[in-house]
């Protein structure tokens, strides 16, 4: 099975603090036809994170071995740690018949766009630099120098937004969630997507 032959592939990127994870999580709570691909990372688990659920947590040697086996369809170094989407992780979602959502950084998103030109790319923006900084500070988990680093990274990341097909500005959460649902729904109504999903209906109507 391949991504090309099956459901929709959504790629969502954003600078940290834009609210990407919360939006994707909220989307999946209301939309049971879409599921995340579980990435591999060399960073340590945080809080309640569980191996195999949020991420597959691996050491550098394991990540290197997977790279050598060409196991990743994309990977990147983010904030000093490595993250990658394995072919197997995507196939596992496809096998369940779900649309796939990749919540990854922009470097990985650009690699996915190269490999799967039919993917649907979405970039989440904060409403302003001030609001982004406020949100990063509000998290309260990071030291001031970490926040500064994240702001510097955010400038680099936001400069890549023009590579994405859709842009959602996360000013009011519910509005941004509505926008996200709209993008997903619109994609499912495209001719090719409907032909895949409703093959019987198309055939009965004589639409090959």
Residue of 27, 34, 58, 83 that binds ligand 5GP (CB under 6 A)? 83
Stretch that binds ligand 5GP, among 3-11, 79-87, 146-154, 196-204 (CB under 6 A): 79-87
Q: Is residue 110 close enough to count as binding ligand 5GP by CB under 6 A?
A: no
Closer residue to ligand 5GP (CB): 50 or 205: 50
Torsion sign across C-alpha atoms 167, 36, 155, 49:
positive
Task: With both helix axes pointing from N to C terminus, report the angle between 129-139 and 144-158 in degrees, rounded to the nearest 10.
Answer: 140
b/e sequence 48-65, b meaning 16+ C-beta within 10 Å: eeeeeebbbbbeeeebee
Stretch that binds ligand 5GP, among 58-66, 101-109, 136-144, 164-172 (CB under 6 A): 101-109
Residue of this chain nearest to ligand 5GP (CB atom): 108
Q: How far is the CB of 22 from ligand 5GP (least distance, A)?
A: 12
Secondary structure element (H or E) that encloses residue 41, with its range = strand 39-41
d(CA 65, CA 67): 5
Q: Is residue 43 close enough to count as binding ligand 5GP by CB under 6 A?
A: yes
Residues 126-145 that bind ligand 5GP (CB under 6 A): none
d(CA 85, CA 83): 7
Q: Is residue 23 close enough to count as binding ligand 5GP by CB under 6 A?
A: no
DSSP state of 51: B
∠ CA 59-78-101, nearest 5°, is: 90
Q: Is residue 181 close enough to count as binding ligand 5GP by CB under 6 A?
A: no
Q: How far is the CB of 106 from ligand 5GP (least distance, A)?
A: 8
Q: Which residues bind ligand 5GP (CB under 6 A)?
A: 16, 39, 43, 74, 76, 78, 83-85, 103-105, 107-108
């Amino acid at each position: 099975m391949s991504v090309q032959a099956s459901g929709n592939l959504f790629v969502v990127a954003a600078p940290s603090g834009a609210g990407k994870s919360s939006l994707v999580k909220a989307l999946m709570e209301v939309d049971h036809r879409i599921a995340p691909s579980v990435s591999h990372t060399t960073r340590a688990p945080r809080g309640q994170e569980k191996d195999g659920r949020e991420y597959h947590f691996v050491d550098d040697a394991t990540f290197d071995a997977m790279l050598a086996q060409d196991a990743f369809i994309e990977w990147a170094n983010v904030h000093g740690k490595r993250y990658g989407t394995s072919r197997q992780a995507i196939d596992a979602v496809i096998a369940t018949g779900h649309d796939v959502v990749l919540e990854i950084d922009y470097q990985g998103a650009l690699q996915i766009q190269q490999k799967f030109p039919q993917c649907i790319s979405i970039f989440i923006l904060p409403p302003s630099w001030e609001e982004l900084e406020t949100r990063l500070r509000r998290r309260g988990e990071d030291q001031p120098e970490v926040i500064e680093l994240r702001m510097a990274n955010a400038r680099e990341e936001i400069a890549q937004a023009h590579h994405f097909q859709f842009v959602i500005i996360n000013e009011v959460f519910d509005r941004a969630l509505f926008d996200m649902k709209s993008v997903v729904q619109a994609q499912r109504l495209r001719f090719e997507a409907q032909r895949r999903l409703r093959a019987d209906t198309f055939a009965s109507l004589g639409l090959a």
